[in-house]
Structure 1
Amino acid sequence: MSIRRNWREYVAALSATLITAAAGTTVGWTSPTLPILLAENSPIQTSKDQSSWIASFMILCSVVSPIPASYLADRIGTKKTLLLASIPYIIGWILVMLARNVPTIYVSRLISGLGYGIAYTAAPMYLGEIASDECRGAMATLITVMSKLGILSQYCIGPYVSMLGLASFNITIPILFVLSFSMMPESPYYFLKSGETNQAERSLKKLRGKFFVREELDSMTHLVNEDMKEKGRWKDLITERGNRKGLVILLGIYFTQQFCGSTAIISYAEQIFSAAEGGLGAKESCILFGSVQLLTSAISSQLVDRLGRKPLLLISSCGVGLANIIIGAYFYMKHENDSFVVNLKFIPIVVIPIFIFSYTIGLATVPFAITSEIFPTNIKSKATCVIQIFVALMTFAVTKLYQVVADNLDTYVAFWGFGVLSIAGVIFIVVLLPETKGQSFAAIQEKLYRSEKGVAYEKRDSYTGGNVTIN
């Protein structure tokens, strides 16, 4: 078993991804909290427009932090950068505890967004660099597993405690992250980039649990030396063919991830279930919803290195597209006061978990695995930064616009729009995405640099030092 053989890597990965569990609490927090804030007896009177800003401000502010996070990852290492992400989360929850008005909640969400951007920029880099080739995909999906655990905690705890009680629980997660992750090793790639070979060897020994790691260390050294011959520049993301192709692939996948409607459903889950009138209570539906998310992300972590990245993404995109269309049809009949909809109240309870299963099995998890492996060392931090900014903007757009579209055009329009964009994502994945399962960083780079017209492209082989002609 890979987990048994690589358990030290998984311990480091689980500790690192506690910060994405903290991110999950900030995303899921709005689902049980917004109904409380919008109620007549609300402790803080809040309008619908203000509630949509509370849901989206955190993501909007996460656009700001990926650039400094990528700079810090190169300068001080991904471990220290991740540790810095805990500070905004702790401050954010303290502000929620003290909040007596909506502006204070706005500020708490904005500050938490800084931590969100840092976490999702540095975490894929750290996991990709500490993992063995055979388990890199599974470890990268832990980002999503832990995030879904954080979201589920909000669905299970939030409806039954006060805002103060929920914030008190949430602040313990970044604190636990700091205590555990401080003891984990830094990425060996960071030490090699800094010229600290002895430190890199010590880090690799801790991660692999082996005394002799010289062969793997030599391979890493060749790869880093080759990649770092030229300092990665921002423009290289566009001018270098392989970087450009990798960036287009990931931006397309993340666009599909966001515009399939996942973030809107997670942020407004309790309100959506209440509007659906599906028979099961909104709070209970959310717990079912979050449980499906967590279980499916755990399943995906075991499938991504077995079935591959591309099949899981195709299954996922097809599933969310079909689910969106069906849910949209249900809300359309409800909007038209179709009497037949009385017999179809089971649809939201059945189809939304299918949506979540489909989304989590691929779109929620696999993109992080691809992000961690598709770019060379000299440009990886900058590429991850650009991707995270793009994702943050897309997430903000979906979170903010869902409420606007639902209020002005009705819920069915939003779901049908998500359905069309999901199907477009299927076409994109079929045409452009290569399979990277079980391949080394060097092999993935060769695949990205391959000419589509069959013209030979000569690229230095990072492992052997020889020249490889790729047709």
Structure 2
Amino acid sequence: MILPDSITDKFKGTFPQLLAAIAGTLSCISDGMQYGWTAPVIPKLLADDSPFPVTEYQAEWLETILMLGACCGLPLTMYLVDKIGRKGSLIGSSSTTLVAWIVIAFAPCIEYIYVARFLAGLAGDTAFVAAPMYIAEMADQKIRGFLSSIIYLMMLAGVLLVYCVAPFVPLWVPCIIGIGFNSITLVALPFMPDSPYYLLFKDKPDEARKALQQLRPHGNTEAELKDIAVAIERQKSEKGRPQDLLLVKSNRKALMIMVWLNGSQHMSSISVMLMNLHSILEEAGAVHIASSTAAIIFSALMFCAAMSASLAIDNFGRRILLITSGIFAGLSLGVIAVYFTLQNWGYEVVQVSWVVALAVMCYAAAFKFGIGLVPIVLTAELFPAKMKAIGMTISDACYVGFSVISLQVYHQLKNSFGIHVPFYIFACWCFGTVVFTLLFIPETKGKTLEEIQFILKGEHRTELESSQNSSENNRTDRTP
């Protein structure tokens, strides 16, 4: 009886926030579909019955174009989230992705799909910066971790959906599904409140009050509005120049944490796994399994693990999930590396090749339980209001950059020294993330965004409480 009561208390009065979070992230299902679209679709484009002629070289560019769009979207994202707001950026992103799906559905040749994929990458970059900002700034701290993780759940649902549907239907069917999700977003999101932090930052106190009342219908909105206003004024008084990411200690620490965690997401081999899963299993001599089936199982395990982590993140904290994930993902990759080492030395290991398939699936669950989920939560929590746009955009740039680096590390080392070598590196990076978490990453569970800034500045909890108590006493002394 204790667990249901605690869950009920945790979510009590937060339905408007949950509704806003779902409306703000629903289009991320479409973005996830775009991310996973090439795996099941490229074989169809290369087949004899392809709707138009496509060479292997042209097909290889379909993934690269998406990442190029994401890179080009970085400066635009940094501008939009502060200029038109978090909600406005999400509406613009969803509109762009909708156009991309329409172009793909009616594309008469591969060049049209290139344009659509570029637009999808640009829009996806905007969504994955604006959505965490929107949620972190409007959510109650007791459920902020859960709500912030919804964006990854939506993305994984999109990957799983396109893996399940695209191999078995005409090319236009996934487009219709993607258009549907974006259309729902464009209908629902305009009715949701904008971020109170953003509205106060833009000197719109009346709109901020109205938004907060919508989000906290039973809360003390005036008191919270004052706290947010104080935090905004303090953060406005601080410099917001790009170089202050390095010159200001708290910003520098936040940036260091996010660069490492975004690097860890790819240097723990997730892009390598997603794009080379079947070839890895084939090289291991594992029991033959259709590539579409392996991809579905892999993505389903990631989704289930991410769902479990999203429910646990506000109860157990961010650090414990990162540590647990790093240990088990590292062990799974280590098993794969040892297997390929023995194979490379000439040992007959094909009889236990099932170990590789098992390790790959264990990795999928372990990765998404922490390393693949927690960074998206922390990235919107660690940067102050004035540095949030540039800080999160640079973090996103690192995410894109490390995806390319991890793929190059895998292919270059595999071709030069054997497939076991990159897996040793990926395993070591996972264990390095465990050490990094223990040494540098603060626990943000249950903390307000203002408290997190004090922690990054190195102020002790007792000092912060003393300052708050002193402020409360002063207000009490002035009460007649």
Aligned partners of 2:339 and 2:349 also within 8 Å: no
Change (3 A) 1:161 1:348: farther
- Structure 1: stretches of 5+ with no match in the other structure: 467-471
Q: In terms of mean alpha carbon deviation, does 440-449 or 164-173 score higher?
A: 164-173
CA distance in 2, matches of 1:35, 1:422: 32
Aligned partners of 1:309 and 1:436 also within 8 Å: yes
- Structure 2: stretches of 5+ with no match in the other structure: 1-7, 473-480
User: What count of residue pairs does the alignment treat as equivalent?
Assistant: 462
CA distance in 2, matches of 1:435, 1:308: 7
1:235 to 243, 246, 250: 243
Q: Is it true that 1:382 corresponds to 2:351 in the alignment?
A: no
Q: Which one has more relative contact order, counting CA pairs under 8 Å at least 6 apart? A: 1
* AA of the residue aligned to 2:244: D
Q: Is it true that 1:355 corresponds to 2:355 in the alignment?
A: no
CA distance in 2, matches of 1:70, 1:166: 30
Q: Is it true that 1:285 corresponds to 2:294 in the alignment?
A: yes
Aligned partners of 2:28 and 2:154 also within 8 Å: yes
Change (3 A) 1:175 1:274: farther
Query: Matched residue of 1:373: which SS?
Result: helix
Change (3 A) 1:45 1:331: farther
CA distance in 1, matches of 2:259, 2:217: 36
Q: Give the percent of matched residue pairs that are identical in Structure 1 and Structure 2.
A: 26
Change (3 A) 1:461 1:108: farther
CA distance in 1, matches of 2:177, 2:414: 32
| CA distances 1:336-363 after superposition (whole Å, capped 9, x unpaired) | 775431x223224322221111111111
Change (3 A) 1:333 1:314: same
Query: Matched residue of 1:450: which SS?
Result: coil
2:142 to 112, 134, 149: 134
Give matches, 1:316-465, under 5 Å.
316-331=325-340, 339-341=348-350, 343-399=351-407, 402=410, 411-450=419-458
1:18 to 6, 11, 26: 26
Match of 1:295 in 2: 304
CA distance in 2, matches of 1:350, 1:248: 34
Q: In terms of mean alpha carbon deviation, does 68-77 or 151-160 score higher?
A: 68-77
Match of 1:312 in 2: 321
Change (3 A) 1:199 1:464: farther
Deviation at residue 96 of structure 1 after TM alignment: 2.2
Aligned partners of 2:39 and 2:275 also within 8 Å: yes
Deviation at residue 465 of structure 1 after TM alignment: 6.5
CA distance in 1, matches of 2:418, 2:466: 55
CA distance in 1, matches of 2:237, 2:465: 13
TM-score of the pair, normalised by structure 1: 0.89
Q: In terms of mean alpha carbon deviation, does 322-331 or 271-280 score higher?
A: 271-280
Aligned partners of 1:328 and 1:413 also within 8 Å: yes
2:87 to 76, 79, 83: 79
Change (3 A) 1:238 1:22: same
Query: Matched residue of 2:315: which SS?
Result: coil
Match of 2:215 in 1: 207
Over the aligned positions, Cα root-mean-square deviation in angstroms equals: 2.8
| CA distances 1:74-103 after superposition (whole Å, capped 9, x unpaired) | 222110011111133123222322334443
CA distance in 2, matches of 1:459, 1:204: 25
Aligned partners of 1:293 and 1:356 also within 8 Å: yes
Structure number having the greater helix percentage: 2
| CA distances 1:153-211 after superposition (whole Å, capped 9, x unpaired) | 01111211122222232232222221221221101111111211111111011111237
CA distance in 2, matches of 1:242, 1:115: 30
Give matches, 1:61-72, under 5 Å.
61-72=69-80
TM-score of the pair, normalised by structure 2: 0.88
Match of 2:114 in 1: 106
Change (3 A) 1:409 1:163: farther
